[in-house]
Amino acid sequence: MAEEQQIRNIYCIGRNYRMHAIELGNEIPKSPLVFTKPSHAVAAMDGELLPIPGDRGAVHFELEIVLRVGKPLSPGMNADECIDAMTLGLDLTLRDVQSRLKEKGQPWLEAKGFKASAPLGRWLPYPGEEGLKDLSFTLIRNGEQAQLGNSSDMLFPVSKLIEHIDRLYGLGQGDLIYTGTPEGVAALNDGDVLEAFWGKQLVGSNRIKLV
């Protein structure tokens, strides 16, 4: 199993699955849409209660493949060699806040960067960009399937994301990349039980506590 590492930058990709962009009424991007979360946003999908804001409008779940960078990209290197582990994570989003920010043309931090907005499952070995397509990922909410995704549906594949982020912002050991969510996002309710599956393997779970 992949070991724990200090987490540094948390890059996230918006609208990387066509059907999710459409469900929120957004345009299909022509290049990767990148935003970040503070490292303090990290929380564990460890089966325990996950306290999230209950007083700022809807909090949506977005289940995503998360990649961890083990070493920087250097000339001639295959983008896959940068990644040393993968897991599934939730890009939790204060959707009403985000809609307000979008209207005003303001940054998304308040909607995307709150404490515990980046729960992560346990780290798994990274099978490479091609190997990643062999398994689908699923979010089960209260026993029912809420989201189903496969990396083969990404608008910008992993290698493209790595090259893009490295070129514009830099990538180094301990950085994470949330690679975008498939369709099915919805608002969380107090007491919801979330389970994230990679293939048939449970990689993380939480019970939601609105506070």
Interface contacts to Zn ion, rule CB under 5 A? 62, 91, 181
CB of 26 to Zn ion, least distance (A): 12
Q: In sequence order, what E strands does the chain have? A: 10-14, 33-37, 42-44, 46-52, 59-60, 63-69, 83-90, 93-94, 118-120, 137-141, 144-149, 176-178, 193-198, 201-210
Closer Cβ to Zn ion, 118 or 171, answer by number: 118
Type of residue at 126: Y
Closer Cβ to Zn ion, 26 or 78, answer by number: 26
Give the nearest residue (CB) to Zn ion. Answer: 91
Closer Cβ to Zn ion, 151 or 181, answer by number: 181
CB of 185 to Zn ion, least distance (A): 8
CB of 197 to Zn ion, least distance (A): 18
CB of 131 to Zn ion, least distance (A): 22
* Cα distance between residue 169 and residue 160, in whole Å: 14
Closer Cβ to Zn ion, 62 or 166, answer by number: 62
Cβ–Cβ under 8 Å, residues 192 and 31: no
